[in-house]
Amino acid sequence: MDSFDALYLRYREPVLGYFARRVAEPEVAADLMAETFARALVSYRTAPPEAPLAWLFAIARNLLIDSARRGQVEASARRKLHLEPLVLDDADIQRIEEVAEAADLVEMVRATLSATEYEALRARAVDEESYAELALRMRCSEAVARKRVSRAIANVRTVIEGSR
């Protein structure tokens, strides 16, 4: 798999969630996500980023600001790459709404956890760091790293059960 394909597959939902929480219509969120990745692809060819998530969110933020200013989603990068316009069906729109709800849940969890717990959980669950890597990076023992992840999971479980 091409490295940009992997980048897209890994970060499409966080980017889509970012837009889905900020715009009223799922179609607009999808257009903004598509243009974000098209712009990223154009830049990626010459200089792959060192911090891809931060880089994508910088592109997304700038695109959102430009789109709000213009009153429409710019499609210049998609045109440059000769990409077809997006056509969404009801299932696509429902999926975008689900991503927005999941993003809201992530924000709620993030607000509930301490910075250390959130960092430990993210490193283990999202970045798939081993406990040894996590302990080394957080400058603690593996036992402490495991406890931080365990505590974070327990807190997340409480938040999820409370939101039902």
- Which CATH number goes with the domain that contains 120? 1.10.10
User: Do 129 and 73 have their domain in common?
Assistant: no
**Residues 12 and 41 sit within 8 Å (Cβ to Cβ):** no
Please indicate, yes or no, whether residues 26 and 75 belong to a single structural domain of this protein: yes
End position of a domain, from candidates 59, 90, 121 = 90
> Predicted confidence band at 136 (pLDDT cuts at 50, 70, 90)?
very high
Q: Of the candidates 161, 20, 35, which has an alpha carbon nearest to the alpha carbon of residue 95?
A: 20
pLDDT, one tens digit per residue, over 34-84 is 889 998 988 887 877 888 888 888 898 888 888 877 766 666 655 666 666
Average pLDDT, the chain: 80
- Helix, strand, coil percentages (3-state) for the chain, rounded to 5, are 75, 0, 25
Residue with tokens 């849940």: 105
- Together in a domain, 44 and 82: yes
Query: How many domains does the structure of the chain reveal?
Result: 2
Same domain, residue pair 59 and 132: no
Digit-coded pLDDT (tens) for 80-100: 666 666 666 777 777 777 777
